[in-house]
């Protein structure tokens, strides 16, 4: 075999019926085919109604200002006091991180993470230029001038009264440790409820589900744990149904609790608690889909995975259908929402009250499979983004009339004094290609990117407020 043949051989091969194809033609066809597949999946997934082709949800001019990337340059203060050379030898200097500063009650940066009462958001007195502004992390007062107590909460929009209701953990009691190694806790007081027409001015509607003071065997006995209450309305039964995480002080019961009411402002009757599908259930949420089917999503198997399953028609129980999702990913604090037929979810890692990195996930069907996209946080600084702005997801509020725009609700926990935990509300925008799955998406859906933008101060567009 001559030299020419020797080099030619690998670049040609026999196709059907013995015809010879050039390798480059095959390569180019393959490239063309993959490009076609890629464009097809891009368009088919994000295509507008009636076949109209649309790139990722174009950003509404009204929300452009919310998408501005705001940097925040927090400097770690130098260590206080001089260390003796002996002390320095015994214990080498540890570099302080912003998380250490955040968790240190005596940090010089305390006022940055937990600003004092003077800077509180006070809708009754902040009218005029300051009205409708959210200041993530500041104390937020209700219409009576008291700090809002609705931690680990969620929002129900009540069509009947055209009112928003914010339910959450009412934690206005002393923080203590049930035992040395136990997590910081506040006795159950109950579920707080606040009402609002504008998502900024909140009227205290009282405790709509109260703790049990005397009966120690009751799930709601004050020595237990009631976290992350969420309420949805059942159109068939006309009842407001509340689901919550119910536990003992050691978090070994790992159950859900269900309560029911005829009115969004309660009182809610506690029905029972159980381990859904027989599995452990800790951090959880519920999600009502457009077709009226509602789902329970909970951290299970030692928080190593999430489970999702539909509720019964009356929303008072789970059915037998359940799927394991994000298996082995150790996620909690799930917050679900939907945009243009795609389901999205924000979760946190599992580090107790300490903040950690959020992740966004997406799915074509609410029952999965769910794909993890990456960290949705934008702006602030790297530490802000790696700690979800020093907060943990709890709920995502859809904004009627602003498709693709949502409010991300998170808790900035204060484990030294849990009642003083703060709310971090920020704009969450769906749009633009996600970075990760794009590269491998041969025929699979391309998810839009989820972005949560840091702002020291922001408000919803005036059109929405009106």
- Report the interface residues with ligand GAL, using CB under 6 A: 152, 183, 227-228, 283, 332-333, 350, 352-353, 392
- Taking the complex as a whole, the smallest distance from the CB of residue 282 to ligand GAL amounts, in Å, to 7
- Taking the complex as a whole, the smallest distance from the CB of residue 237 to ligand GAL amounts, in Å, to 29
Indicate the residue among 62 and 183 with the shorter CB distance to ligand GAL.
183
- Taking the complex as a whole, the smallest distance from the CB of residue 353 to ligand GAL amounts, in Å, to 5
What's the full length of the chain, in residues? Answer: 466
Indicate the residue among 57 and 393 with the shorter CB distance to ligand GAL.
393
Indicate the residue among 46 and 392 with the shorter CB distance to ligand GAL.
392
- Taking the complex as a whole, the smallest distance from the CB of residue 408 to ligand GAL amounts, in Å, to 16
Count of C-beta atoms within a 10 Å radius of residue 249: 16
User: Can you give the C-alpha Rg of the chain in angstroms?
Assistant: 26
Indicate the residue among 283 and 371 with the shorter CB distance to ligand GAL.
283
Indicate the residue among 201 and 281 with the shorter CB distance to ligand GAL.
281
Strand partners, 296: 286, 309
- Taking the complex as a whole, the smallest distance from the CB of residue 349 to ligand GAL amounts, in Å, to 9
- Taking the complex as a whole, the smallest distance from the CB of residue 152 to ligand GAL amounts, in Å, to 5
Longest dimension (CA), the chain: 97
Which position has the token pair 């859904």? 276
Peptide bond before residue 369 is cis, with ω within 30 degrees of 0: yes
Peptide bond before residue 267 is cis, with ω within 30 degrees of 0: yes
Indicate the residue among 356 and 372 with the shorter CB distance to ligand GAL.
356
Starting at the earlier edge strand, list the strands of the sheet with 239-247: 225-234, 239-247, 255-261, 269-274
* Listed residue (288, 154, 315, 302) closest to 227, CA to CA: 154
Question: What's the CA gap between 211 and 342, in Å, rounded?
Answer: 38
Contacts of 380 (CB under 8 A, 6+ apart): 70, 71, 72, 389, 454
- Taking the complex as a whole, the smallest distance from the CB of residue 200 to ligand GAL amounts, in Å, to 25
Question: What's the CA gap between 292 and 297, in Å, rounded?
Answer: 16
Indicate the residue among 42 and 255 with the shorter CB distance to ligand GAL.
255
- Taking the complex as a whole, the smallest distance from the CB of residue 285 to ligand GAL amounts, in Å, to 11
Q: Which two tokens stand for residue 448?
A: 């839009």
* CB contact burial 164-183 (16+ within 10 A = b; e otherwise): bbbbbbbbebebeeeeeeee
Indicate the residue among 178 and 350 with the shorter CB distance to ligand GAL.
350
| DSSP tag of 147 | B
């Amino acid at each position: 075999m001559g030299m020419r043949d020797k080099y030619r051989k690998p670049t040609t091969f026999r196709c059907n019926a013995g015809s010879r194809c050039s390798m480059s033609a095959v390569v180019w066809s393959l490239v063309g085919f993959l490009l076609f597949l890629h464009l097809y999946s891009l368009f088919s997934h994000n295509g507008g109604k009636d076949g109209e082709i649309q790139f990722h949800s174009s950003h509404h001019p009204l929300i452009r200002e919310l998408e501005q990337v705001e940097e925040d340059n927090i400097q770690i203060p130098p260590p206080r006091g001089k260390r003796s050379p002996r002390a320095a030898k015994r214990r080498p200097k540890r570099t302080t991180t912003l998380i250490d500063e955040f968790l240190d009650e005596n940090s010089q940066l305390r006022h940055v993470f937990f600003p004092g009462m003077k800077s509180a958001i006070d809708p009754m007195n902040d009218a005029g230029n300051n009205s409708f502004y959210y200041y993530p992390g500041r104390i937020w007062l209700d219409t009576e001038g008291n700090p809002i107590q609705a931690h680990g909460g969620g929002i129900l929009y009540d069509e009947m009264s055209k009112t928003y209701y914010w339910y959450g953990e009412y934690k206005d009691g002393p923080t203590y440790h049930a035992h040395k190694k136990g997590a910081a806790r506040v006795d159950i007081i109950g579920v707080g409820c606040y009402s609002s027409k504008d998502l900024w001015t909140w009227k205290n509607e009282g405790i709509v589900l109260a703790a049990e003071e005397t009966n120690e065997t009751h799930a709601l006995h004050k020595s237990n744990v009631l976290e992350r209450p969420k309420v949805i309305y059942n159109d068939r039964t006309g009842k407001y149904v509340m689901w919550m995480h119910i536990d003992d002080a050691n978090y070994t019961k790992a159950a859900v609790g269900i309560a029911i009411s005829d009115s969004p402002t309660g009182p809610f009757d506690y029905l029972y608690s159980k381990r859904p599908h027989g599995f452990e259930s800790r951090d959880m949420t519920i999600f009502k889909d457009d077709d009226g089917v509602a789902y329970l999503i909970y951290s299970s198997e030692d928080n190593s995975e999430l489970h999702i399953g539909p509720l019964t028609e009356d929303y008072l129980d789970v059915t037998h259908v359940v799927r394991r999702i994000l298996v082995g990913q150790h996620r909690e604090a799930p917050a679900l929402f939907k945009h243009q037929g795609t389901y999205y979810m924000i979760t946190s890692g599992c580090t107790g009250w300490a903040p950690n990195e959020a992740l966004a996930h997406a799915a074509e069907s609410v029952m999965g499979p769910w794909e993890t996209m990456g960290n949705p946080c934008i702006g602030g600084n790297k530490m802000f983004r790696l700690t979800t702005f020093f907060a943990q997801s709890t709920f995502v509020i859809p904004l009627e009339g602003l498709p693709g725009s949502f409010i991300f609700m998170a808790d900035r926990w204060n484990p030294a004094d849990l009642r003083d935990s703060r709310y971090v509300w920020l704009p969450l925008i769906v749009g633009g290609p996600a970075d990760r799955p794009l590269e491998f998406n041969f025929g699979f859906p391309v998810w839009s990117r989820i972005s949560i933008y840091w702002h020291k101060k922001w408000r919803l567009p005036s059109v929405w407020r009106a």
